[in-house]
Amino acid sequence: MDNQTSITEFMLLEFSPTRELQILHFLIFLVLYLAGVTGNLLIISAVAFDRRLHTPMYFFLMNLALQDLGQVSVIIPKSMINSLLNTRHITYSGCVAQILLFLFFAGSDFSILTVMAYDRYVAICNPLQYELIMNKRACKKIIASAWIGGLFNSVLHTGATFATALCSNIVNQFFCEIPQLLKLYCSSQYQTEMVAICISILAVLGCFTFVIISYIHILMAVLRIPSAQGRKKAFSTCLPHLMVFSTLVLTSSIAHLSPAFNTPPHMDFIFAIMYSTVPPMLNPVIYSMRNKDIKVALSKLFGLR
Per-residue pLDDT band at 2 (split at 50, 70, 90): very low
Per-residue pLDDT band at 75 (split at 50, 70, 90): very high
Per-residue pLDDT band at 126 (split at 50, 70, 90): confident
Question: Given this model, what pLDDT does residue 305 score?
Answer: 59
What domain range includes position 38?
2-301
The set of residues, in sequence order, having a beta carbon less than 8 Å from that of 216 and lying 6+ positions away, is none
pLDDT digits (tens, 9 = 90+) for 260-279: 567 777 788 888 888 888 88
Task: Decide if pLDDT at 127 tops 90.
Answer: no
Question: Given this model, what pLDDT does residue 137 score?
Answer: 92
Burial class (CB in 10 A: 0-12, 13-18, 19+), 175: buried
The Cα–Cα gap between 176 and 74 comes to: 10
For the chain, the domain total comes to 1
Flag the least confident range among 71-85, 95-109, 116-130: 116-130
pLDDT above 90: percentage of residues in the chain: 26
The Cα–Cα gap between 25 and 89 comes to: 16
Q: What residues are paired with 73 via a beta bridge?
A: none
The set of residues, in sequence order, having a beta carbon less than 8 Å from that of 125 and lying 6+ positions away, is 217, 218, 221
The Cα–Cα gap between 146 and 63 comes to: 10
Question: Three-class SS string for 253-285?
Answer: HHHHCHHHHCCCHHHHHHHHHHHHCHHHHHHHH
pTM for the whole thing?
A: 0.88
Task: Decide if pLDDT at 184 tops 60.
Answer: yes
Per-residue pLDDT band at 34 (split at 50, 70, 90): very high
Question: Given this model, what pLDDT does residue 1 score?
Answer: 44
Task: Decide if pLDDT at 3 tops 60.
Answer: no
Question: Given this model, what pLDDT does residue 157 score?
Answer: 87
Mean pLDDT of the chain: 84
Question: Given this model, what pLDDT does residue 70 score?
Answer: 94
Instruction: Check which CATH number belongs to the domain holding 62 and give it.
Output: 1.20.1070.10
What is the helix (H) or strand (E) element at residue 26, kind and residue range? Answer: helix 19-49
Flag the least confident range among 105-109, 139-143, 299-303: 299-303
Question: Given this model, what pLDDT does residue 260 score?
Answer: 59
The Cα–Cα gap between 2 and 211 comes to: 46
